[in-house]
Amino acid sequence: MRYVVKMRDKDNVAIALHDISKGTVIDGGITVNDNVPQAHKIALVDVPKGGSVLRYGVVLGYAKEDISKGDWINENSLILPKSPALDELEYGTEIDEDLPEPPRKTFMGYEVPGNEYAGTRNILGIQTTVQCVVGILNVAVKRMKEELLPKYPNVDDIVVISHAYGCGVAIDAPEAKVPIRAIRNIMKNPNFGGELMVVGLGCEKLTPDKIMEKRDINDDNFLLLQDHPGLKPIMAAIMEMAEKKLKVLDKRRRVELPISKLSVGMQCGGSDAFSGVTANPAAGYASDMLVQGGATVMFSEVTEVRDGVPFIAQRVLDKPNCDKLAKEMSWYDNYLQAGGVDRSANPSPGNKAGGLSTIVEKSMGSIAKSGAAPVSQVVSAGEIPSRHGLIFNATPASDFVCGTMQLASGMGVQVFMTGRGTPYNLEAAPVIKVCSRTDLKDFWKGLIDINAGSIATGEKTVQEVGTEIFNMIIDTASGKKPVAEDLGLFNDICIFNPAPIT
């Protein structure tokens, strides 16, 4: 019976494939000294106090006390090492252009005039300028779905892009550029088909000129609730504008397109120690196939790659993007410091329960979802890439904030890896759920699309599961619904706002 998984030859720990009882003799003839939970680490050698604990061939932390061979190592066992330095990162030293060929090179998507990417869904998106209008819009959308949407069967859905920004904010603060950029760009997501419908109140600070082109600010695309005398006229104006947009969207049809028109987001959440063994490497293999086929793939989550930044830099193609990578990491270091925390605020309690002892360990597993492709561009959170290929999108690690900011960057479909389980999903783009453990697939029946746990048990390879993920990406982009979309499980839109609220 196989008890543990070791990632690299130089590692001095391995993770438990399942719960292991004290006294069990595991691979290599080591006697386990504690009851060790599934996914947690077991020392393979004696480690003195202050000695390095290695997994993925990197230092996860330093032993707080002497560790004996066979001991259980968890978050209470280790001292976090210093963050990697950001000055003089080496770039372009590990450029792998020998990527796997995609088995399919086209998908059925929606062309969007003037957009680099194609839509995977045909949605009427209603952008808000301020949270104040959301209550009325929610009532209006309920009516739209009952009265209007059945008349336009080629439109998939109507989605309100609500957010907590727009008023009571320091609109001219330097970091206000982050939420404003996201709100402006999310309207351009290809799943909204190039149709603009913006609803404001009338007294907010986020005026239309800050998020719309001057030529688009007209009665066809923009309305203010305060311009209408009472509820009935307000509802009539919203319904009238929506129906005009629905008539246009209903004429759209899926056509066969090259995967170079596809933008895919990669994200992990509720991670465990198996995420970096199974789900994330498999997603990375799928990512490499997409990149090889000309697609755009975004990976994100600054705090979850911060400790692996030298490995990312080695794959960055040029100095300007390497400099931007360092700048984004430095900005986030300062942002955390200003809030009185550092990167040790991540992992979460659930991550720790799943065997992730330090943010270094989480980072090394997290970057596996980026595969081996060169990083063609680094973009700020919510910025739209100007290149195809693998993109590092510098979003926060929070699942729903990361997802929202990837939407703003043009993502049409997302792949989400989880070890602990989460019903997270986006209303504006389909999300494919990949689990890291077979236990979770069995436990959360009906909530997981792909089980990568078969890699840990030896039933499948990373390449086989990666190909399965790739094929589901293409099928999903072409209209197939992942389970969370089919069940209608949707999270709120959460714009990242580091600027002051007044």
Surface-to-core class of residue 218, CB atoms within 10 Å of its CB (0-12 exposed, 13-18 middle, 19+ buried): exposed
Closest CA to 375 of 475, 469, 435, 305: 305
Q: Quick: pLDDT tens for 288-344.
A: 999 999 999 999 999 999 999 999 999 999 999 999 999 999 999 999 999 998 888
- Of 367, 377, 385, the C-alpha closest to 318 is 377
CB count in 10 Å sphere of residue 193? 24
- At 176 the three-state DSSP class reads helix
List the strands of the sheet with 123-128, edge to edge.
Answer: 157-161, 123-128, 198-200, 222-224
Residue in the structure block whose two tokens are 């992730």: 356
Is residue 325 packed enough to be buried (19+ CB in 10 Å), middle (13-18) or exposed (0-12)? Answer: buried
Domain boundaries, given as residue ranges, for the chain: 4-79, 123-249, 256-487
Whether the Cβ atoms of residue 436 and residue 451 lie closer than 8 Å to each other: no
Q: What are phi and psi of 224, to 5 degrees?
A: -115, 130
What angle, rounded to 10 degrees, do the helices at 279-292 and 462-477 form? 60
- Residue 10 pLDDT: 95
Phi-psi region of 451 (alpha: psi -120 to 50; beta: other; left: phi over 0): beta
For the chain, counts of helices (H) and of strands (E): 12, 22
Predicted local distance difference test score (pLDDT) of residue 344: 80
d(CA 221, CA 241): 8
Domains 4-79 and 123-249 agree in fold = no
SS3 421: coil
Helix (H, G, I), strand (E, B) or coil at 44: coil
CA distance 269 to 406: 15
Phi, psi of 444 (to 5 degrees): -100, 60
Beta partners for 377? 391
At 252-263, the pLDDT tens digits run 999 999 999 999
In Å, what is the CA distance from 450 to each residue of 267, 278, 419? 15, 11, 12
Q: What percent of the chain shows pLDDT beyond 90?
A: 96
Residue 162 has phi, psi (to 5 degrees) of -95, 155
DSSP 229-250: SSHHHHHHHHHHHHHHHHHHHT
Q: Do the Cβ atoms of 381 and 163 come closer than 8 Å?
A: no
pLDDT bracket for residue 154 (50, 70, 90):
very high
d(CA 292, CA 105): 10
CATH topology for the 123-249 domain = Rossmann fold (3.40.50)
Per-residue pLDDT for 345 more than 90? no
Average pLDDT estimate for 373-400 = 97
Q: What is the DSSP letter of 179?
A: H
Q: Return the pLDDT at 2.
A: 86
Q: Are the C-beta atoms of 417 and 369 separated by less than 8 Å?
A: yes
CATH T-level fold of 4-79: 2.30.130
Q: Given this model, what pLDDT does residue 238 score?
A: 98
What span, in angstroms and rounded, lies between the C-alpha atoms of 407 and 183?
A: 10
> Which position has the token pair 């509802």?
235
Name the residue with tokens 């993007």: 321
**Long-range Cβ contact pairs of 251-255 (< 8 A, separation 24 or more):** 251/154, 252/110, 252/119, 252/122, 252/154, 252/193, 253/110, 253/154, 254/108, 254/109, 254/110, 254/478, 254/479, 255/108, 255/109, 255/110, 255/111
E strand or H helix that includes residue 443:
helix 438-443
Structure token digits, residue 491: 């999270």
The answer to whether 255 and 232 are in contact (CB under 8 A) is no
Question: Above 80 in pLDDT, residue 176?
Answer: yes
381 phi and psi angles, rounded to 5 deg? -55, 125
Q: What size, in residues, is the chain?
A: 502
pLDDT at 412: 98
Give the pLDDT of residue 348: 87
d(CA 278, CA 435): 8
CA distances from 107 to 153, 254, 295, 373, 410 (A): 21, 9, 11, 21, 17
Residue 297's beta-bridge partner residues?
264, 390
Residue 128 phi, psi dihedral angles, 5° rounding = -105, 150
Residue 46 backbone dihedrals phi, psi, to 5 degrees: -70, 135
Res 100: pLDDT: 98
List the alpha helices (DSSP H) in 87-219: 134-143, 177-186
Residue found under tokens 């929506």: 242
pLDDT tens for 119-149 read 999 999 999 999 999 999 999 999 999 999 9
Report the C-alpha gap between 283 and 371 in whole angstroms: 7
Residue with tokens 């719309």: 212
Least confident of 245-249, 285-289, 351-355, 434-438: 351-355
